[in-house]
Structure 1
Amino acid sequence: MLGFVLYLFIGRRITNSKIFRLLDGSEAGHHKAGKRQLDEVNRNEYQFVNAVSRANVELAVLLMNDDTGSLSHNNAVTVFDDGTEKFDSLIDDIRSARDHVHILYYIFRSDHLGQRVLEALIERAEAGVAVRLCYDAYGGRKIARRYLKRLRAAGGEAYPFFPNNFGPINFRVNFRTHRKIAVIDGRIGYVGGFNVGDEYVTPTKKFGYWRDTHLRIEGSAVDSLQTRLLMDWNVAAPGNRRVGHEPRYFPARESQPGDVAVQIVSSGPDSEWEWIKYGYLKAIHKANDSIRIQTPYFMPDAAVMDALKIAALSGVDVHLMIPDRPDHPLVYPATLSYADELAKVGVNVHIYQGGFLHAKTLLVDDELASVGTANFDYRSFRLNFEVNAFIYDVELGKRMAAIYERDLLKCRPFDHDQVYRRPLVGHVKEAVSRLVAPLL
């Protein structure tokens, strides 16, 4: 009986036919720019004007196969590694919106931070701006219904992604949208690891400071974020509230905000291929000098583990940074186990002690970066709906490297004897954790 109940909630796979029925119509006029670029590449007509993207042309071409994976070279990118700064910027941008605000978050609470965001959305809706809020039915279960009523009364819209089937029961709890995207007027986009909750801006007693990474983007890459967000919106919203690929949501840009090359890449159970994982693998294999990873959950599959081992054994300076405390008791022993396995082949494993490390970043040779929502684990690769930005730029790479070096000041080195000072207990936890890792 227990096995049957667990199967109903976390054991069932969404079949291809089922997932595509659930997502039917979500594209709503979406133009697959990445596929058009692939055609240009095949005809030798595409120009890689960015030096880093040109040096990583195979990775760029790989990611163009994703529906949202078109490459753009005209972006300005700001990196946030502090929640207060990120949300102050987001709320200011929301309050400056003139046409529309589209929001998609995995976790959205109506605590102090959530109320600030919701009040900004309500104010814009009252001013006639089109406001659409999408949140995961599980991660957003703590939104107070009075705020959603106020938002709808003001003219805004809000819908949960994969809502509950019967009251509090949700048979799709194992397939969540882990994406965090905001798009304002089609000109400004946000993507990264921060959710909407007080712990992301205020140190907590249990975890202390919440260390995460998020991006603010201006440029053509916002079109890809908008496309991804609207496709998810069209899954959550009723058929008569779906949004098409309208020009107002993809405004022409009279000037070039910057010169950073960016690809927005998504993956999930709706995709036949694990695009973000493939991007990680290709980037790791391309590394010549260094690899820097930050992730709160490190439970990779054999392909990623082998890629990192090969890189380390080939002389690449590989660094892995993980938290020093668990927020999921079953996850952390597996993370330590995989980290220990890498440490044995020369990977530099760092335990972050400045709070809870929630950032999901990959930096290769200090010029190729990935920032987004995907962790290095089975769930992010195969079960959750995820989105990452792959960035090709020397200056932004230097900025990411500087952040990593600063975080290292708050780390201690991984020590096998210290981690496993209680061998029997440690190995039992490790065995159980790794056994159920694909479900975590």
Structure 2
Amino acid sequence: MIALWQSISPFLLPLYYVGIFFVVIQILLENRNPLKTHSYLLLLLLVPFVGLVIYLFFGQNHRKLKIMAKRRLINQAFGPEYIQDYLKNEQTEVHPQGHFDKLIRFLHKDLSPISLNNRVTVLHNGEEKFPAVMEAIENAKHHIHIEYYIFDNDSIGKPLAELLIKKAKQGVKVRMIVDGVGSLGLKKAFFKKMLSGGVQLKEYMPVLFPSFTSKINYRDHRKIIIVDGKIGFTGGINVDDRYINGGQNSLYWRDTHLKIEGEAVKTLQFLFFLNWQFVSQETIRATKQYFPEITNLGKHCIQINASGPELDLASIMDSFFIAITSAKNRIRISTPYFIPTESIIDAITTAAKSDVDVELMIPFDSDSRIVQAASFSFIKRLLQAGVKVYLYQRGFLHAKVIIIDDGFASVGTANMDYRSFDLNHEVNTYIYDDEVVGILQNQFDQDLQDSEKIDLNKWENRGIKQKLKESLCRLLAPLL
């Protein structure tokens, strides 16, 4: 083997260096975020051959450009029709919490209308979510639309799939999108069964090489259910047994989901329509059966915002920045993956230095050691700025919640990391209501009881080996 390498290396190494030269030129010409550019260059330097393979599989933007072009055409074709015919613009009628006006205006320009006629139910963990979902689907009359990152054919997924088939056979239109990476475990037999049962099932960007899918880019990370255009579900909980506590999974899973009834469901419907047209090439005619009239249902004020790789603006990240910088008294953040952009961490630390009470809760134990190490590398700076950081210890904290003062909260699918901000399709619900925010505040307080507050002195006195590991992982943070 050594002799073989010695004989071919004089020919391979020059080709490799030429290839690296052109890859570096390409990376520089793409004019990406400097942090991401530095990360790829560092990867090519430290692990030459492996770094090149990683870049070729995950770093190129050709695929993104194709996605952007196709999805933009769909958005431009359907967006104006939706706005003109089915959007009830309540912006002039609703004035919740005056210091969030800037956020409301920003989201409104991003096809995120504000609506007042809604009723929101906070669902804690899978134990509360899935019974509510099953009940709503059982009562469906016209259509059921489902879009999930993870849909597993397990003890929770099987009965849900059977119910969808049952409703399809009753004449209810059932459309379903599952992500090609998140739902990779679904077998061909599952797709065949659903399709033969009358469920229109599509896979979002199927993958060709399963061995390389754990972190592949541009995924549909949303969790959306729409029933008859009147009831919507969205939040952090996928369809998987791990989200049910007290069942087969021994790890306690802490998560937050929402049931939305009312005008805001139309935005979820709109988002589903865009993705359905992308995966199926089928244009659904927007009728009043999909966008029904909603009257006197509730008073909860909501905006629903989405982001994706085809959009020029990273709107969820930008909206997080605006919300955090709008805080007057308190900021509470719960997220499973904390790898913030420089603007987000600047907003958080500046708020803390301005006498805003800032609390951050992340898992003590993550499902990714590299991501957790990168997350821990930010903690010292947060503590020095006066941010209170807590490690959740009862199980795995998967809730993605931001609470600002007493009148604003965000619940959604987006983590506070580069992947959610820049690469994945996400959807978040922004709530301007003291009652709903109060419920989320109470849950945050309960979660604090299962968390340990980090002490700055103890944190600084940790071993050099752990600190070095975190610093090295942080260098790759823009790629995680």
**Structure 2-normalised TM-score?**
0.84
Aligned residues: 431
Q: Which amino acid aligns with 2:141?
A: R
Give the aligned partner of residue 388 of structure 2.
Answer: 348
Cα distance between partner residues in 1 of 2:451 and 2:103: 31
Offset of 1:204 from its aligned partner?
A: 8.1
Q: What CA deviation, in whole Å up to 9, does each residue of 1:193-229 have, x standing for no partner? A: 0011100013589872110111100111000001011
Cα distance between partner residues in 1 of 2:425 and 2:366: 23
Cα distance between partner residues in 2 of 1:288 and 1:21: 40
Q: What CA deviation, in whole Å up to 9, does each residue of 1:353-385 have, x standing for no partner? A: 121000111100021011101111111111111
Q: Give the alignment of 1:130-279 within 5 angstroms.
A: 130-165=173-208, 173-202=216-245, 208-237=251-280, 239=281, 241-253=282-294, 255-279=295-319
Q: Which amino acid aligns with 2:409?
A: A
333-342 or 181-190, which moves further after superposition?
Answer: 333-342
Cα distance between partner residues in 2 of 1:377 and 1:276: 11
Give the aligned partner of residue 6 of structure 1.
Answer: 54
Q: What CA deviation, in whole Å up to 9, does each residue of 1:219-243 have, x standing for no partner? A: 1100000101111111111x2x342
Give the aligned partner of residue 64 of structure 1.
Answer: 108
Q: What CA deviation, in whole Å up to 9, does each residue of 1:371-421 have, x standing for no partner? A: 101111111111111110111111111111111111111111013555566
Q: Give the alignment of 1:290-309 within 5 angstroms.
A: 290-309=330-349
Offset of 1:103 from its aligned partner?
A: 0.4
Q: Percent identity?
A: 38
2:94 is aligned with 1:49: yes
Q: Which amino acid aligns with 1:329?
A: R
Cα distance between partner residues in 1 of 2:185 and 2:165: 18
Asked whether the 8 Å contact 1:133–1:159 carries over to 2, the reply is yes
Q: Secondary structure at the match of 1:229?
A: helix
Cα distance between partner residues in 1 of 2:189 and 2:63: 36
Asked whether the 8 Å contact 1:298–1:339 carries over to 2, the reply is no
Which structure has the highest helix share of the two? Answer: 2
Cα distance between partner residues in 2 of 1:338 and 1:312: 15
Gaps of 5+ in 1: none
Q: Secondary structure at the match of 1:429?
A: helix
Give the aligned partner of residue 78 of structure 2.
Answer: 29
Asked whether the 8 Å contact 1:29–1:245 carries over to 2, the reply is no
Asked whether the 8 Å contact 1:350–1:414 carries over to 2, the reply is yes
Cα distance between partner residues in 1 of 2:144 and 2:300: 24
Q: Secondary structure at the match of 2:478?
A: helix
Asked whether the 8 Å contact 1:34–1:65 carries over to 2, the reply is no
Q: 1:256 to 1:144 in 2, by over 3 A?
A: farther
* Alignment match of 2:420 (pick from 372, 380, 402): 380
Structure with higher Rg: it is: 2
Q: Secondary structure at the match of 2:94?
A: coil
311-320 or 109-118, which moves further after superposition?
Answer: 109-118
Q: 1:173 to 1:244 in 2, by over 3 A?
A: farther
Q: What CA deviation, in whole Å up to 9, does each residue of 1:302-328 have, x standing for no partner? A: 101111111000000000000010201
Q: Secondary structure at the match of 2:118?
A: strand
Asked whether the 8 Å contact 2:99–2:326 carries over to 1, the reply is no
Q: 1:218 to 1:416 in 2, by over 3 A?
A: same
Q: Which amino acid aligns with 2:57?
A: F
Give the aligned partner of residue 39 of structure 2.
Answer: none
2:67 is aligned with 1:19: yes
Q: Which amino acid aligns with 1:11?
A: G
RMSD: 2.5
Q: Which amino acid aligns with 2:168?
A: A
Give the aligned partner of residue 433 of structure 2.
Answer: 393
Give the aligned partner of residue 168 of structure 2.
Answer: 125
Asked whether the 8 Å contact 2:68–2:309 carries over to 1, the reply is no
Cα distance between partner residues in 1 of 2:70 and 2:395: 39
Cα distance between partner residues in 2 of 1:318 and 1:385: 28
Gaps of 5+ in 2: 1-48
Give the aligned partner of residue 21 of structure 2.
Answer: none
Offset of 1:11 from its aligned partner?
A: 1.0
Q: What CA deviation, in whole Å up to 9, does each residue of 1:227-268 have, x standing for no partner? A: 01111111111x2x3423233211112x22111111110111
Cα distance between partner residues in 1 of 2:91 and 2:349: 34
Q: Which amino acid aligns with 1:82?
A: N
Asked whether the 8 Å contact 1:30–1:244 carries over to 2, the reply is no
Offset of 1:169 from its aligned partner?
A: 6.8
Offset of 1:13 from its aligned partner?
A: 2.3
Cα distance between partner residues in 2 of 1:21 and 1:282: 28
Give the aligned partner of residue 428 of structure 1.
Answer: 468
Q: What CA deviation, in whole Å up to 9, does each residue of 1:7-58 have, x standing for no partner? A: 23211125764223342653453347679999x8xxxx95243433x44221
Q: Which amino acid aligns with 1:2?
A: V
Cα distance between partner residues in 2 of 1:96 and 1:407: 34
